[in-house]
Structure 1
Amino acid sequence: MSSRIEILNEGGFRSDGRRQYELREMTFDSTAQAGADGSARVAHGLTEVLVSVFGPREARVRAQTLHDRASIHVEATIAPFSSTSDRRRRGRGDKRTLELAATIKATFEPVVQTSLYPRSQIDIFVHVLQQDGGVLQASINATTVALVNAGVPLADYVCAVTGGVHAAAPMLDLTSLEENDLPHVTVASMPRSGHLTLVSMETRLHVDRFEEILRLAGEAGPVIHKEMRAVVRQRTKDLLDGMGKGLRESNPAEAMIEDE
């Protein structure tokens, strides 16, 4: 397959200055959203996703209640201003948003320990704010952090990355420009066990290249996991510090002792 654009220049650099295997800059913000039990705003380069989690809570629709475990409900929306090339307003019935929601649900159903919460539901709301490739990977990574912040028990973190192939050479963490021109696959792995919970491929890919991308995605998983753990630990520290401050304020005598 010949590329219509210059994916790699003569020096081996991509259009944004990265090497083939380099990931874009990642930012994770777990500042709580009003009313949500857990939330996370994640950016991979220019792609940005906000996820809010509610629950586990009592199931609202009796017909959908599972008596032995919690049900997972996912809704996705894509902001019309999120892409410079596609400004269509996508409603709840839009095919792309439905597929995004269904993929996220299928990714996390084997990971969330739903058996601990029978007859309840966990609601996950995914809002794509800006897209420049890797929307699915960003949505999965944001969902992982939001679930952890909500206190939902997981078998492991889920870390996702997109891989593609250019001139028989694999690449990681594709931009929109690269996704539009290259065969690619999104892989979600669990870093502790090394197991895969998602392999999503919408384009044809040679089996040899596929195996190589899986290997590289497995190596990228721990890098993303480290970033996730750092933001979760910082949020936990902030919560504990806040609780300690509240206790000191409610007990002036204890505060005086600490000050001394």
Structure 2
Amino acid sequence: MAAPELLSDEGYRADGRRPAELRKVRARMGVFAQADGSAYIEQGNTKALAVVYGPHEPGSPRPLPSRQMRGSRSKALPDRALVNCQYSMATFSTGERRRRPHGDRQAGELALHLKQTFEAAILTRLYPRSQIDIYVQILQADGGNYCACVNAATLAVMDAGIPMRDYVCACSAGLAEDTPLADLSSPEEAAGGPRLVLALLPASGQIALLQLSARLHQERLEAALEAAGQACRALHAVLDRVVRDRLREVTALLGD
């Protein structure tokens, strides 16, 4: 799909959205009773699951799916918590059925991005000599995979009761000629145009992660960044409703 085809003459995208419009978002928290925190999110047809364990003592036995995340007491940081992240894609997440090992290069890069993002958001200094493990998995991929994982992980960390500076909301943006598009779907990503990924702390405006797939003129970059920022703020309102619904649910259970 060529870039001009991303927008119709009437200004609509292939899936019927306006340029700045988000895909439909559905989310819920507390999906796994065994974990300290968990969440599931759907952004359009992209579906992600996040599970959080901790804070706990490094090296302590946890029901973790991979040895990579177990850590050891020697890695404990004296002044803050160690944040470990693991990213994976389910073998059935795309139409291409192939095995995706936990240790592949792309998964490792995205896990590192997640680690950097949540180190900027979690109040790690409240938990010295401890460890927080964040697992995310894409169950269905249709664009914005990393962003869906960040948003799911934010809800899971909050479900675990771990203090954060703010929500972390992530969204992608691209350009159809000079028109910025927010929250790209898989066909829009496959069009090959420049793609920006933003992870934002909405209250302060602090950027936790900014990634750009190609060079852009400053004016076009500012337009794409503004579109991603507005989308992150819209996502913040959605995630905040999910957290408030979860709080009411937990309060009602405690009241019973």
Same fold (TM over 0.5): yes
- The alpha-carbon deviation at position 5 of structure 1 amounts to 7.5
What is the correspondence of 1:7-22 to structure 2 with a 5 Å cutoff?
A: 7-22=6-21
Q: Supply the AA of the counterpart residue of 1:87.
A: R
Q: Which residue number in structure 2 is paired with residue 154 of structure 1?
A: 164
The amino acid across from 1:134 in the alignment is G
- In structure 2, the residue matched to 1:254 is none
1:29 matched to 2:28: yes
Instruction: Report the secondary structure of 1:138's partner residue.
Output: helix
**1:78 aligns to what?**
89
Partner-residue secondary structure (3-state), 2:5:
coil
Q: Summarize deviations over 1:124-154 as a string: whole Å, max 9, x none.
A: 0101100100001101111111101110100
CA contact (8 A) 1:53 1:125 kept: yes
- In the alignment, which residue of structure 2 is the partner of 1:108? 118
Tell me if 1:167 matches 2:212: no
Matches within 5 A, 1:192-211: 192-211=203-222
What is the letter of the counterpart of residue 9 of structure 1? S
Query: What secondary structure sits across from 1:170 in the alignment?
Result: strand
Partner of 2:229: 218
- Per-residue CA shift, 1:40-60, capped at 9, x if unaligned? 101110001000000001111
- Secondary structure of the 1:40 match is strand
Q: Which amino acid aligns with 2:20?
A: Y
Per the alignment, residue 6 of structure 1 pairs with: 5
Q: Is the 8 A contact 1:184 1:205 kept in 2?
A: no
Unaligned 5+ residue runs, structure 2? Answer: 60-71
Aligned residue for 1:165, secondary structure, equals strand
State the secondary structure of the residue aligned to 2:225: helix
TM-score (ref. length: structure 1): 0.90
TM normalised by structure 2 equals 0.91
Q: How many residues align?
A: 243
The secondary structure found in structure 1 opposite 2:215 is coil
CA RMSD across the alignment: 1.4
Q: Displacement, 1:229?
A: 1.0
Aligned to 2:247: 236
Question: For 2:185 and 2:214, how far apart are their aligned partners in 1?
Answer: 16
1:188-247 deviation per Cα after TM superposition (whole angstroms, max 9, x unaligned): 1111111111101223333211111222222222211111111111111111111110xx
Provide the residue aligned with 2:75 in structure 1.
64
Partner-residue secondary structure (3-state), 1:6:
helix
Unaligned runs of 5+ in 1: 246-260
2-side partners of 1:173 and 1:136: how far apart? Answer: 11
Q: For residues 208 and 241 of structure 2, what CA distance do their matches in structure 1 show? A: 22
